[in-house]
Structure formats: C-alpha cells, structure tokens
Amino acid sequence: MSAITDLGVKAIRDGFRNGDFSAREVADAFNAAVAAARGLNAFVVETPELALAAAERADEARASGNLKPLSGVPLGIKDLFATKGVQTTASSRILEGFTPTYDSTVSGNLLAAGAGMLGKLNMDEFAMGSSNETSGFGPVISPWRRSDGGNAPLTPGGSSGGSAAAVAARIAPGVTGTDTGGSIRQPAAFVGITGIKPTYGRCSRYGMVAFASSLDQAGPMARDVRDCAIMLEAMAGFDPKDSTSLDLPVPQWEANLSADIRGKRIGIPREYRIEGVPEEIDRVWEQGIAWMRDAGAEIVEVSLPHTRYALPTYYIIAPAEASSNLARYDGVRYGRRKMPGQGGLTEMYEATRAAGFGAEVKRRIMIGTYVLSAGFYDAYFNQAQKVRALIARDFERVWEECDLLLTPTAPSAAFALGEKSNDPIAMYLNDVFAVPASLAGLPAMSVPAGLDKQGLPLGLQIIGRALDEQGVLDAGLAFEQRAGFTARAEAWW
Amino acid sequence: MVSSYRVQGATGEWEVVIGLEVHAQVTSRAKLFSGASTEFGAEPNAQVSLVDAAMPGMLPVPNRECIVQAVRTGMALQAQINTWSRFDRKNYFYADLPQGYQISQLYHPIVGEGLIEILLDDKDESSAKQVGIERIHLEQDAGKMLHDQHPSFSYVDLNRSGVALMEIVSKPDMRSPEEAGAYVRKLRSILRYVGSCDGNMEQGSMRADVNVSVRRPGEPLGTRTETKNVNSVRFIMAAIEYEASRQVDVLESGGKVVQETRLFDPDRVETRSLRSKEEAHDYRYFPDPDLLPIQLSDAFLDECRGSLPELPDAKRHRYETELGLSAYNASVLTAEVETARWFERLLTATGKAGPEIGRAASNWVISDLFGALNRLGKTITTSPVSPEQGAELLALVADGTLSGTLAKQVFEIMLETGEGPGTIVEERGLKQTSDTDAIEAVIAGVLEANAEKVAQYRSGKDKLFGFFVGQTMKAMQGKANPAVVNDLLKKALS
C-alpha cells in the first residue's frame, strides 16, 4: 500500500469508510509529515492534537455508523480563517498572539463536516502578495525546484502559499485558500495542484480576516478537481452572519461531477494573449485548447475588451477597501500594542502599526488611503468602480457566445524568492489573468496543465458564469483526464 | 412667518441663520449591526458583541427594526422615503471607534426631504412656521472614553459602540434661538409619538450639532460654525445666542468667521473652538462593501405606514375641531404623547364625546391635574390619579353631585389616598346638597345673625350679596349647591 499521505481527500474519505485504515492512522501520518516538512515553513501553527481529536471522533463515528461527509479527513486551514482557540494572525505580526473565541463559518463548516485540522497555513500578510514573501513569519518555500540543478528556493505563489505548498508536498490532502485577486489560483498553478474560487458569496466571509471585502472569497485547494468539489460542498452555504452571502442551496457538485462536456462552448479571450508572456504559457494554453476540443467542446474566439484595465482597477479597489478594513488593528483591543515612552493615543497608533505591519501592507494602506481621499476619490475610486462594472459587463456579454473561458492562470511559472520582491509592479502582474474574474465575482479554477522547460508546473484557468461552479468543475475534470498531470515535487525537505 | 429676532450689533442689526443636526438614538433592543443589547446604564463593556468590538473577520448585519424605525420617522416627518439606500464607511481613528470607521449613510440616505411645523406661540395657530428636513440617515454610535479610571491610561466603554442613531438634518431654516428650541421640542415630540426614539436628552438619546451663521438681513448666508453634541434644549438655545453674538462681534471688529467645529461649555455658557476646517478629518467615505444596498418593498413601506400613530399636529387639529378645545389647550395636551394618551383614556372612561366633555376634561387636566402634579413633583406617567378616577370625578361634577369647590376637595383626597372619588364622597359625606328646606333653614340663620348687613343690602349695598353666599356656604361646609343657594338667597333678601 502506498503511503497514506499520497492519498487525496476522496481517497482518504472512502478508504477510511471502507475500513482500509483508521482516522487515527491518517492523522498520525499527516501530523508526522507536517512535522517533517518544517523546512517549507508552510504552517505558522501546527495543531496535531486537534487533528488527533477529530480522528478519534471519526473513528467513533465509524464504529457507531454516524459518519459525516469529511470524517477521517485532516485538512490545513489558511491563517486568514479565525479558528476558535487557535492563534489566528493572517500571518501578520500585528495579530501575533491573537486567539479568537470563534470559528470562521468556512472553517467551522469543515470541522462540523467531520474534518480535522492539521494547523494554520502560512500566507502573505493579510493576503496581500503573490509570492508569500510578505508573511510576517517568513516566506513559504515551494516544494518544487528547477530541473537545472540550481537549488534556488522558489515561491509557492501567494497569497495562499502555505496552502499550496502543503498540498504539493503531500503534508495535507486538502486545504482552504482565499482568493481576492488570484490568491488561490496563482499558487495552485505554481505548485501543480487544483484550486477553485467559487462565485462571490458562495462561501461566507464571516470570521475570515478581511482584505478587500467586495473581492475576498474562500475556496478549496487540493490535488484534483473531485477533491475540490468535495471540499467546496462542505465549505459553501448561506450564512445570515454575512450580508453578502448568497441565500441559495449548495449544489451537489461532487455527485453531479461529469467529464462529459460535449457541446459546451469554450471561449478563448483574445485579450489574454499579452506581450512578454513566455512562449511556454502559450504552448500549454494551445495544448489545453486541443484537450477541450478533444473532449467535444466547441472552441470559440471571444473578446473581453476591458481586460487591460482590470489590473489597475483591482489595485485601486482592493487597497481602498483594505485601508479601511485594516484600521481596526490599532493596538487598542487585541493583538500587538506598542507604547512609545512619550505621547498619547496617536503615538500608540503610529508605533503599533509601524511595528506590526509589513512593507507591502503599509504600501497598500497608503495607496488605498490616497485613492479614497478628498480630491482623488472621483478620479480613482469612483472611476475604478465604473470600470469594474464594465469588466463585469464584458463577461455578461461573452456568455452569449460561450459557456466557459479557458485562459492561462498566471503569466509565468514559479519564480525564485527575492526575484520580484523589490518590484511591486512586476509582482502585481502575476495577477493579470486572475483579477478580471475576481472583479466580476465569477467562479474560476486553476488546473495543472504541464511543466515548463525547467520542470515547473504551469496551470490553466477555467472561468464560468456566476453560480456555474458545476460547469467549471466538469470542464476541469475533462481537462484533468486529458492532461494526466502526475508530476510531483521530489521531497528534499 | 418672518422672525423678528435680531442681534443688535454696534453697526446695526444682524439676522441669525440656524440649522440643526439631531442625533437620535433609535429605540431598538439590539444595535444597528449586531445583536448586542442597547439598554442604558449597564456595566462598562457588558453589552459588546464581537462585531461591536471589531474583532477580526466580523461582519455587520443590518437590524431590520432600526430600518423600520428610520422609515417610520421619515414618514412622520412627511419625508421622501428612499426605497434604495446604502451604507458608507466614514473612516477615522479613535479609541472609541473599534472598526476605525463609522458605518453611516453619506451618499444615499434612507430618508430625504421632509418638514416639521413648529408653533412659536402655543395659543396662536398663525405663529406656525415650517422648518425643512434635509435628510435622515442611519449610523452607528461610537463607544465612550473614560479618562478618570487610571492616572496615565484612558479606558474605553464599548456599550454604546454600534448603537443605531438617526441623524436628522434640518435645512438652515431657523432664525432665532426660540425657533430652534421649538423645533427640537417638536421633533422630540414626534419621535416619541412614533416610538422611534425615547427623546431622553439627559441619557444622551438625543443630542444636536448646532450650525450657526449671521448675516445682514437680506444678504447671502455667512460662514457657519458647528457646535457639537449639545444635549438639552436650553443649552442649544444658549449656544445659538452665544455663538450669534460672538460672530457679530468678530465681524463688526473687522474679522472673519472661521468655519470650524466648536464645543459648548454649559458651565461657562460659551462655545469654544475644537478644530478648524484645515484640521478637519478627511473621512474618506466610500460604500461599505460588507453591506448590500437596502431596498424597501411596497409591503415593507405599507407595514411602516400602517404602524404609525396619530401624530401631534393631526391630534391637535382634531382636539380643536372635534372636542372644541382652545388652540392652547389642544397644544398643551398633544405636546407629549403620554399626556395625549392619558387625556384620551380619560375621555374614553367618561363615555362621552365631543365638546360636551372635551372642554371640561381639558380644563380639568390642564389646571387641576397639572397643577397638582407640578406641586407633587410628579409627571403624567407617575400620576397618583388614574384617568378612570379622573373621569369619575368629572362625572360627579357634571351630574351636580359635587360643586367645583367640593370637587377640588375630593381631588386633594384622591391625590393623597389614591382612592376613587365615588368612595370618597360616600365615606366622607362630601355630597353637594340641593335640599331647599335645609338651605332655607341655614339662610334664615345667616340673615338673623347679620340683621344689620341685611338692612344695608336692602338699602342698596348690592355687593353684600357675596357675603351672604359665603356665610351660607360656610355654614353648610361647602356642600350646598351654589346655584340653589343663590336662588334662595335672592328670594329671602327681596
């Protein structure tokens, strides 16, 4: 029998149900793998005791015939989700030592479905970053290395970098991620796993540390499409504690999963062919198109004319909301407080926030404060809101011509740590293909498509109509079956 | 009606222009966006939810009851109800503001333009003046800083954090401290009728930001100042008076009024500068992305409209036309919702309607009952006499059982003992008598004892008639029917 840690969510769930192994064995195996992989810095907090406790409950449930949908499955939780009794920092020093008395709805849903928690996953600070280098607790190192023999540590992408690395390194079968402008999809692509951002409002944001409220959306990251479907089903659902949560039943995505996409029209947006993108990206894209055609889909060239405004629009709206959302970290009620020897409240704010926030977070607070300030609001924030509406309209129109879109997930493969960290614009460009679907609130998934010349994974993105996660998952499954992506990072850690 | 209020400056007359922003705490068991309680007087930080403390990942969820109250208030002020409105964030840092922003409504308030009619003279309908309402929006209250708990730290009490406020913004339509006072009293009265705010200024349920400017009559508006958080009608009027004359002094001495925020010091009865326009915050308002726009359905609006009570103006007019009350009586009885309710319970208990009972009942309430309550330091809600007992008393007067004098005596006993007037009359024998034989006998005695005065009367000294009435009533311990006494005395003396 192969190692338990080589199994994904479905294989563990079913194997446990069938009596192939106990939940305790699963938890032990992953706890050990987590402990052995500290070199990746994927977890900021490990909770082996919680994984074991859930496993014990799962074993009892199996004995008494009370299995829950995720009984026996241990998961990693991104540190953006508040977890009762477990430190939650959004990987920011300003929240160091903060232990919530509450669970986020999404992580709470997973635990209520019988899952166990292996620990809290490292991420870019407050989810602001595309390389995990902005984490207050050090960057996550990708389990992948270039095939050129150089051992340059690579980024797992971001902001859900710890999540991506954990799945790719087989130290968690599935994890939660969050995606504001590509934070699930880009890291999934970088490490050769699957991750879906559902329609905005599918997953409750209650208890999820806010970055940009109108964009933030939780989603699963796992080894394959089916695992994502299983997890998303447990995570999603209407939540009266989040006014923006959608009051709709959760579809049975797993049961309805089908690779039969014959007759589906798959759009290839011409604006996603941009200058300066490595030829290999185009190559896997063409390959992906061929696979979709092979699956019986009809390929149509389409246009999303406002695509090139998406990134600047995103980098106005997201920082604007962030500048306000992060005002609460002021040292008054929780988290870090820094008191200078002299001065009063203002000096405490300044010292606390100067010490607690990292450079990227400060940059975005500054940008956001600027675009909302008197005299600039109309030129920036208001204008960005209008462009956002145009971008959403682009998609509305394109759905008249096609059912799904197939695009690259990111404009490059994983890069080395330090390679872009001094160039914010180059870093922001990572999200160029991910951001439009975020601004429009659409479901979008990254699936592994192949390797580049250096042996690093590349992913493609499938975007669907609002609420059509099923269509996205189905196309992903058809894609996955043809891509046959089995490459994995050799364990060096 | 044009106000004649003017500030007399050294160089002539100045007109005062006043606008008020009244913050009224919405009557609701829970806060605007959280389920925490809103009761006044709890231990510090005992009524704070995770949302109110702005814990990471917490989200606001609108409390329907607060929306209902704002809409009902708008309807009571004959205002435009905006069926599409939205919440915005007003961003600023302060320790009593856990989120670092206040959720408010800048761009799309829930209520638009409306109006309030004020009476500058209760006795005179022609003194009515209309004050425009600019808008009403919903917003969160902040917490409270406690500076006296520790030598070097300030403490924060978040009980009020997140409590729903309505900000009711008037147009700059008021021209004197009296008009502003009448406006606030009238607004308070309407809010209490509607039940959307308890109007309790001492507990901070209502407070006003006072905008004042001065100008030469007929000239364009001058630069205004805003005096924040004034919490009584008296202080509002005092702040306007002080601020107007201060601005006149500044202008007449060649200076300019600075647009600024000021505070009112009730001890020294003056306003002081808090911060100027240059130091003003940039609040960076933007739509709150955690909240969807509020869309009001026709059914919702019907529900709000259907739950509105009769309002003070309508009630006043009805009292005048249906009950034949004077403008003054109608005004006094309708100013406070509790008074009107008490009065209407009294009318119901009498079983009568129209002017037949209206005048007598209103006069009794205003002179006898109010006089007594005033004397006892009580209010209508703590009155020792119930409306039903009042009705019984009025009935005993109407059917001749009690004279006016006897009624006052009985009322005093009612106030002291809480007993009903019927019981008191029975047990203490305070019934008025119309028994002519008994009265004639007493009159005979009075005339006999005062033979000299009788002679004087008969020789033309008419004024002595009152003396004989008094003597007779005295001898009968006030229980004689005065009309009968008059008749019989006239006969006996003729």
Cβ–Cβ under 8 Å, residues B261 and B239 = no
Using the 8-state DSSP alphabet, how is residue B364 labeled? I
Residue A1 has pLDDT above 60, yes or no: no
B62: closest chain A residue by CA: A243
B316 CA to centre of own chain: 14
Q: Do B56 and A98 touch (CB under 8 A)?
A: yes
Q: Are strands B260-265 and B164-170 parallel, antiparallel or unpaired?
A: unpaired
Q: How far is CA A15 from CA A21, A32, A235, B9, in A?
A: 7, 19, 22, 93
Q: Which residues contact B5 (CB under 8 A, 6 or more apart)?
A: B15, B16, B175, B176, B177, B178, B179
Q: Do B286 and A377 touch (CB under 8 A)?
A: yes
A309 CB neighbour count, 10 Å cutoff: 18
Which residue do the tokens 């859900």 mark? A160
The answer, for A178 touching chain B at a CB cutoff of 8 Å, is: no
Q: For residues A280 and A260, give the distance between their C-alpha atoms in angstroms, rounded to a whole number.
A: 28
Q: Dump pLDDT digits (tens) for B141-162.
A: 999 999 999 998 899 999 999 9
Average pLDDT, whole number, for chain A?
Answer: 97
Q: Are strands A457-464 and A217-222 parallel, antiparallel or unpaired?
A: unpaired
The answer, for A440 touching chain B at a CB cutoff of 8 Å, is: no
Q: How far is CA B219 from CA A153, A465, B131, B216, B439, in A?
A: 74, 60, 20, 5, 74
Omega prior to A159 cis, within 30 of 0? yes
For B132, the 3-state DSSP assignment is strand
B101: closest chain A residue by CA: A324
For A120, the 3-state DSSP assignment is strand
**3-state per-residue secondary structure call for A6-46:** HCCHHHHHHHHHCCCCCHHHHHHHHHHHHHHCHHHCCEEEE
Out of A82, A214, A244, name the one closest to residue B57 (CB): A82
Amino acid at A46: E
CATH code at A4-261 = 3.90.1300.10
Mutant choice from A86, A96, A125, A332 vs B, greatest count of B C-beta within 10 A: A332
Q: How many CB pairs under 8 A join A and B?
A: 100
Q: Dump pLDDT digits (tens) for A239-297.
A: 999 999 999 999 999 999 999 999 999 999 999 999 889 999 999 999 999 999 999 99
Out of A243, A330, A373, name the one closest to residue B290 (CB): A243
Q: Do B284 and A207 touch (CB under 8 A)?
A: no
Q: Do B50 and A345 touch (CB under 8 A)?
A: no
A362 min Cα distance to partner chain B (Å): 16
Q: Dump pLDDT digits (tens) for A18-57.
A: 999 999 999 999 999 999 999 999 999 999 999 999 999 9
Q: Are strands B155-157 and B144-146 parallel, antiparallel or unpaired?
A: antiparallel
Q: For residues A198 and A444, give the distance between their C-alpha atoms in angstroms, rounded to a whole number.
A: 6
Cβ–Cβ under 8 Å, residues A108 and A31 = no
Which residue do the tokens 């292996």 mark? A118
Q: Do B284 and A369 touch (CB under 8 A)?
A: yes
Measured between beta carbons, which residues in chain A are less than 8 angstroms from residue B290?
Answer: 205, 210, 213, 243-244
Cβ–Cβ under 8 Å, residues A161 and A124 = yes
Percent of chain B with pLDDT over 90: 75
Cβ–Cβ under 8 Å, residues B165 and B25 = yes
Q: Is A491 left (phi over 0), alpha (psi -120 to 50) or beta?
A: beta
Mutant choice from B32, B51, B55, B281 vs A, greatest count of A C-beta within 10 A: B55
Out of A82, A321, A332, name the one closest to residue B289 (CB): A321
Q: Dump pLDDT digits (tens) for B96-155.
A: 999 999 999 999 999 999 999 998 888 887 889 999 999 999 999 999 999 999 998 899
Q: Dump pLDDT digits (tens) for A262-278.
A: 999 999 999 999 988 99
ipTM above 0.90, yes or no: yes
User: What residue ranges do the domains of chain A occupy?
Assistant: 4-261
Q: Do B91 and A244 touch (CB under 8 A)?
A: no
| Cα torsion angle, A383, A385, A388, A393, sign | negative
Q: Do A100 and B57 touch (CB under 8 A)?
A: yes
Cβ–Cβ under 8 Å, residues B367 and B330 = no
B240 versus A340: which is more confidently predicted? B240
Cβ–Cβ under 8 Å, residues B79 and B113 = yes
Q: Render each residue's pLDDT in chain B as its tens digit; 494 residues.
A: 556 799 998 999 999 999 999 999 999 999 999 988 888 888 999 999 999 999 999 999 999 999 999 999 999 999 999 999 999 999 999 999 999 999 999 999 999 999 999 988 888 878 899 999 999 999 999 999 999 999 988 999 999 999 999 999 999 999 999 999 999 999 999 999 999 999 999 888 999 999 999 999 999 999 999 999 999 999 999 999 999 999 999 999 999 999 999 999 999 999 999 887 767 789 999 999 999 999 999 999 999 999 999 999 999 999 999 999 999 999 999 999 999 999 999 999 999 989 989 999 999 999 999 999 999 999 999 999 999 999 999 999 998 888 888 899 899 999 999 999 999 988 887 777 777 888 888 898 999 899 899 889 988 888 889 999 999 988 888 778 888 888 888 888 88
Q: For residues B309 and B307, give the distance between their C-alpha atoms in angstroms, rounded to a whole number.
A: 6
Out of A88, A327, A373, name the one closest to residue B93 (CB): A327
Please report how the helices B436-449 and B451-458 are oriented relative to each other, as an axis angle in degrees rounded to 10. 90
Q: Which residues contact B292 (CB under 8 A, 6 or more apart)?
A: A243, A244
Q: Which residues contact B116 (CB under 8 A, 6 or more apart)?
A: B77, B130, B131, B133, B170, B183, B186, B187, B190
Burial of A245 (0-12, 13-18, 19+ CB in 10 A): buried
Q: For residues A130 and A182, give the distance between their C-alpha atoms in angstroms, rounded to a whole number.
A: 8
Known active-site residue A183: yes
Residue A214 has pLDDT above 60, yes or no: yes
What structural domains and CATH numbers belong to chain B? 7-304 (no CATH), 310-428 (no CATH), 436-493 (1.10.10.410)
What radius of gyration, in Å, describes the C-alpha atoms of chain A?
21
The answer, for A350 touching chain B at a CB cutoff of 8 Å, is: no
Amino acid at A305: P
